[in-house]
């Protein structure tokens, strides 16, 4: 599965606050594959979009689900993101040459930028620990 970018505007994208137009938030969907790209590619891609202030939705089918869980847990434990929503479902995927549909598990994790992300990034680059 390849990465797909989906733009979704917030409800108040045209609202003005103190005469300044608010920037519309985007939800970037990253479809994670177990075999096409290395694990760190998806981790760094998610980090990049979160740093830009976008929400990131990591989605996966079948055997790629543990990869999504690991990426989201790394982003949460390092203080880069927080979990907004988790969706689970089953989808019918054609696996055989006969065209039979086989149900596959699907997971979607929506992550938002953590409020203290900038400070945790600075601390990590300096090698400081949160307990110091």
pTM score, two decimals? Answer: 0.69
Q: Where are the domains of the chain?
A: 27-115
Q: Which residues pair with 59 in a beta bridge?
A: 31, 108
List average pLDDT for each run of 10 residues in the chain, which is 132 residues long.
Answer: 41 41 73 91 94 93 94 94 95 82 94 73 51 50
Q: Where are the alpha helices (DSSP H) in the chain?
A: 39-51, 65-77, 117-126
Report the C-alpha gap between 68 and 34 in whole angstroms: 10
Q: What is the pLDDT of residue 128?
A: 53
The CATH number given to 27-115 is 3.30.110.20
């Amino acid at each position: 599965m390849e990465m797909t970018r989906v733009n979704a505007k917030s409800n108040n994208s045209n609202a003005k606050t103190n005469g300044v137009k608010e920037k519309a938030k985007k939800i970037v969907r990253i479809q994670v594959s177990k075999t096409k790209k290395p694990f760190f590619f998806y981790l760094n891609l998610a980090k990049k979009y979160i740093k830009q202030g976008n929400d990131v939705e990591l989605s996966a089918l079948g055997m790629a689900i543990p990869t999504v869980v690991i990426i989201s847990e790394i982003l949460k434990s390092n203080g880069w993101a927080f979990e907004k929503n988790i969706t689970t479902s089953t989808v019918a995927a054609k696996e055989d040459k006969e065209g039979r549909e086989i149900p596959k598990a699907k997971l979607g994790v929506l992550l938002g930028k953590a409020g203290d992300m900038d400070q945790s990034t600075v601390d990590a680059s300096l090698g400081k620990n949160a307990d110091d």
